[in-house]
Homo-oligomer: A and B are copies of this chain.
Amino acid sequence: MSDSSDMRDHLEGNRLDPWFDAYATRAHGLRTSEIRALFAVVSRPEVVSLAGGMPNIKDLPLEDLAESARHLVRHHGAQLMQYGSGQGWEPLRQRIVEVMTYDGIAADPDDVVVTTGSQQALDLVSEVFLERGDVILAEAPSYVGALGTFRAYEGEVIHVDMDDEGLIPEALEETIRRLRRENRRIKFLYTVPNFHNPAGVTLSNERRAKIVEICAREHVLIIEDNPYGLLGFDSDPLPALQSLNPEGVVYLGSFSKMFAPGFRIGWALAPHAIREKLVLASESAILCPSMVGQMAIDDYLSNYDWYSQVKVYRQMYRERANAMLGALEEFLPQCTWTKPQGGFYTWVTLPEGLDAKAMLPRAITGLVAYVSGTAFYADGRGGNHMRLSFCYPPPEEIREGVKRLSRVISAEKELVDMFGTNVRTHLPEDSVSSPAPDQV
């Protein structure tokens, strides 16, 4: 008999859940994400949450959007509320092509598939490509929601190092060669080139060319995930990897950050044969994306100066980023952090010996929340990092949150200096997993 916790979990699962033995192997890989256990606590108003990834949409022109919604339902209700095409509504796909010109992309609407948020595009790409044990290359660290999806399809993420200029081409090349020597099947490189989540850095122009060249030479498909591209504080994004090699890249886009997430509308732009597979996979998963969401977004893009709204967002997020970077400078001299030029996040490195995951319950007690760096690695690393988001709380709250964090870190540092290590109080769930929607 064994009393290992694996065995215990299995038996308990079995006893309480009569269908436990019927689950597919992949279902056992579906786990709650790290901070979910603390979610109820984090939602308390007295806690300053620097954990969440919810965009701040309070500046949207709600009166105008309300009139527009009325008009759409009244004059196009029968189409709005009906099934649509599995690939997505053609007029919206044309607008999407226009939006992508800001990334230097020249695309055909026929190569676009509209999805239920770009998360579904990630899911479809995983479904079409991943077999159990296949390798996905991804930045170290990577977006928690992508890691969860790759895990659900039983792929294995191998992280590739990045620095302040993004993914390191030499590290990518070395990793590909090593894996090929080990006869591993590499299915694709997953990368977030702009205002990386969670790292807060942007892939430099020079490296974009190098990475595209390496992947083309090594025949590795690139999945380019770009939810934040238009939210650069001072400028439009650098040219997308897709623009450098359209046949080698599946590009994922989203309206969640540049407009609003509540419609759940994103897209994939893919080489034609892959696009066909993605459409079939999407029809099998959801039949078709919501016409309500598609027509509402098409209306917004067609009848509003959406780029002006993007500029409003840029200004708002820049102020918050400045508040955070200023507060870090002032209150956390014992840490280092990345300097984002856009997006929602900065990536903080803790002083030697501190463990962000072990420290999190004490941070919550100190009324501030973050996401431990471990959430963004598939291999257990990241304990000496935390992701801080500046997208949602107002500047003065951000400052207060960082101030609280400095007290937590100082207290933690004292403990570590005294006892030589963190007093570990790890949270119940230990592994990478599906994200809570509010923390992506």
Residues of A participating in the B interface, judged by any CB pair closer than 8 Å: 13, 16-20, 22-27, 30-32, 54-55, 57-58, 60, 62-63, 65-67, 69-74, 77-86, 116-117, 119-120, 123, 127-131, 134, 145, 148-149, 151-153, 187-188, 219, 221, 247, 256, 260-264, 271, 273-274, 277, 280-281, 283-293, 296, 433-438, 440
Contact = CB atoms under 8 A, between A and B. Distances in A.
Contact of A31 (B66, B73, B280): B280
Contact of A70 (B57, B67, B130, B262): B67
B263 A81 contact: yes
A309 to B, nearest CB: 12
Given A18-B247, A22-B221, A24-B128, A285 B78 contact: no
Contact of A19 (B256, B273, B281): B273
Contact of A69 (B72, B117, B128, B434): B72
Contacts of A435: 283, 287
A65 B83 contact: no
Contacts of A152: 127, 281, 284-285
Contacts of A291: 262
B82 A260 contact: yes
Given A20-B273, A285-B149, A77 B60 contact: yes
Nearest to A270: B19
B277 A264 contact: no
- Counted per complex, copies of this chain come to 2
Nearest to A26: B127
Given A16-B273, A23-B128, A73 B81 contact: no
Which of A24, A58, A438 has the most B CB atoms < 10 Å from its CB? A24
A27 B287 CA distance: 17
B83 A123 contact: no
Contacts of A131: 24-25
A54 B78 CA distance: 12
A271 to B, nearest CB: 7
Contacts of A127: 24, 26-27, 152
A221 B19 contact: yes
A84 B117 CA distance: 13
A269 to B, nearest CB: 14
A262 B292 contact: yes
Nearest to A273: B17
A324 B69 CA distance: 37
A23 B128 CA distance: 6
29 contacts: A17-B273, A18-B271, A23-B128, A24-B131, A26-B127, A30-B277, A30-B284, A32-B280, A54-B83, A57-B78, A57-B82, A62-B78, A66-B74, A67-B70, A83-B256, A83-B261, A83-B440, A120-B286, A148-B283, A264-B286, A281-B434, A283-B434, A283-B436, A283-B437, A287-B435, A290-B290, A292-B293, A292-B296, A293-B293
A213 to B, nearest CB: 16
Given A24-B128, A74-B62, A290 B277 contact: no
Q: Which of A116, A130, A281, A289 has the most CB of B within 10 A?
A: A116
A20 B272 CA distance: 12
B117 A286 contact: yes
